[in-house]
Amino acid sequence: MQNIEFCSRTWVWTREPAAFELKESSLEITTRPHTDLWQHTYYHFKNDSAPLLQTVTEEKYFSFTVKTSFEGAAHRFDQCGVAVYFDAKNWIKGSCEFENGKFQHLGSVVTVNGFSDWATCAIDAGIKNIWYRLSRREDDFCIECSFDGVNFSQMRICHMPKAAGAVPFGIYACSPEDSSFTAKFSCFEIGECKWKAHVGQPPDKD
């Protein structure tokens, strides 16, 4: 699979999409129909076919921010966002999934040892641009979102047992049903961790 060089880093496809176009400061991904990420829970199926483009870091404390634009998402479950993908049974994603002409699902999935969960909230279907900030503090992660690129709100804090060393992270887009759309990713930023250490109750001593 083709590696991509941008933002002074090497990015690797876990699976390539139907098409992609790298521009000076953005990347467009066109999805294939029937591509998705999910493991077992409730639906009792295993889907591990979504294209992911990731880079890898040993840094234990960092934040990754990216803007997603998805004007073309118009079929149920069309989605794009950020991900931390180790393998089919262990991954994290944050994204917006199209539902209908009135609302869409802004949410996150954490999959550990082959079982997924899904936490969502409904947002207006007219929103077509969302910034995500994915942060790591050792083996814990935080996903935040923003509708203006300035003010971020927490979506999820989670633990990932596989995050003991190097961590792959990046972007993804997919269309679980019989559809296809083009997602645009821009405003890439990787830097110091903006998810600060907790101030309050001290940690327990093991």
Structural domain contains residue 205: no
Query: Please, which residues bridge with residue 89 across strands?
Result: none
206 has pLDDT over 80: no
Instruction: Quote the strand ranges of 46-139, DSSP E.
Output: 46-48, 52-57, 61-69, 79-87, 90-98, 103-112, 115-116, 119-124, 129-137
1 has pLDDT over 90: no
At residue 130, the pLDDT reads: 98
Structural domain contains residue 199: no
Structural domain contains residue 107: yes
Range of the domain at 10: 3-191
At residue 45, the pLDDT reads: 96
Angstrom distances, CA of residue 95 to CA of 143, 159, 198, 201: 10, 18, 25, 31
Q: What is the mean pLDDT of residues 155-180?
A: 98
Structural domain contains residue 203: no
C-alpha 188, offset from chain centre: 13
CA distance 107 to 156: 9
At residue 24, the pLDDT reads: 84
Structural domain contains residue 112: yes
CA distance 98 to 126: 10
What CATH number should be reported for the domain holding residue 169? 2.60.120.200
Residue 118: exposed, middle, or buried by beta-carbon count in 10 A (0-12, 13-18, 19+)? middle
157-166 confidence digits (pLDDT tens): 999 999 999 9
Strand, helix or coil at 59?
coil
β-pair type (153-159, 46-48): unpaired
CA distance 144 to 154: 4
> Two tokens at 186?
């821009």
DSSP labels, 15-38: S--SEEEE-SSEEEEEPPBT--EE
205 has pLDDT over 90: no
Counting Cα atoms < 13 Å in the Cβ hemisphere of 98 gives: 25
- pTM for this structure? 0.96
19 has pLDDT over 90: yes
Of 23-27, 52-56, 141-145, which gets the smallest average pLDDT?
Answer: 23-27
Structural domain contains residue 83: yes
Number of domains in the chain: 1
- pLDDT band of 32, cuts 50, 70, 90: very high
Structural domain contains residue 98: yes
